[in-house]
Amino acid sequence: MISGYNAAAYPIMNLMNVMTKEIKMYGFVMTSILPKYRSAFYTEIPALLASNELVFKEELTKGLEGAGEAILAVQKGTNSGKSVVVVADQ
């Protein structure tokens, strides 16, 4: 889990309660829902991006020499939005 990258793993406590109370735990895996929502995603999201109804943040770092700092900013949580390392302009 991403939350455990900079800390010790957090153990599941009271696992017996999961069994005795018949609790169900589900993980979120994008690939399991992709077939259901793929066509709607590619219909709606590009239009929202083009009309600026959906906006995103990104931090651009130019050159591989800045890649280490970009990764560190992501791990520390000091970046704003998606971190992108541009290695070549075309």
Domain that holds residue 56: 10-86
Q: Are 59 and 68 in contact (CB under 8 A)?
A: no
All residue ranges of the chain with pLDDT < 70 are 1-4
Q: What is the chain's alpha carbon radius of gyration, rounded to the nearest angstrom?
A: 20
Share of the chain above pLDDT 70, in %: 96
- Kindly state the tokens that stand for 61: 């770092």
pLDDT of 2 reads 66
Query: Is 1 inside a domain boundary?
Result: no
C-alpha–C-alpha distance, residues 79 and 70, integer Å: 8
The pLDDT value given to residue 4: 67
DSSP conformational letter for 7? S
Residue 59 lies in a domain: yes
What's the mean per-residue pLDDT of the chain? 88
| Total count of domains within the chain | 1
